[in-house]
Structure 1
């Protein structure tokens, strides 16, 4: 027999002893979900912070392009890679938010120093003539964290 025929159902939601099924989430379930979201957010924040520093470092690397061209033109004009490689290569006109200094010294070696917000790195780009007489550039990190530079600049 149904609960209605026996008089157990009063119409006000009371099933008169019949178990009422639980709906919704318990507090512990909600706390577990919030904890999982917090852990994922913490991991994402660290990854995002590293990503932004890497993007800032890439500005310093990109700024070397015109300086590399000037060194390459000097090497081409003189026929060898020597102290004249930095002749007429300008210094960085003004520091940027991410690059503190960029200079040319020695046999065309370009040095880039990033600001603290860009990881406080010091990178060095060294030119060399390969067996075909083509100028190639090697990048290495002088100071700072290697996780913020491209793989070509990390020491083996």
Structure 2
């Protein structure tokens, strides 16, 4: 079942974020997710089954400078490997799209790493109607 994530889910969210390749402790996720939950332009949905979180999607609703429309950016999405292929990811993305539509967003966007292991996921995104459109850049400012 898909539901909105709660503060009590921080431990399971830390596990999922670790699977995404971002080392995170439960303590870090608890503090981070408490800040996220305070923001109404953020949303996190989880897929729960038998008391376990098997997937999640986290997003932000934002406004553009270059157009008169808003968009939703998916910033984190994962389904545990042993639960992939069951449509959980598609359901989570559909929920993200519904959330965006309810806020008047015109589109949903996401970034995904260029690592070879992400290629299968890229094909899935394309199958769901997402198009490759841009190149991302990153620079630390510390």
Please report the TM-score for the alignment, with normalisation by the length of structure 2.
0.30
| Structure of greater relative contact order (alpha carbons < 8 Å, 6+ residues apart) | 2
Larger radius of gyration, structure 1 or 2? 1
Instruction: Indicate the structure with greater strand content.
Output: 2
Please report the TM-score for the alignment, with normalisation by the length of structure 1.
0.28
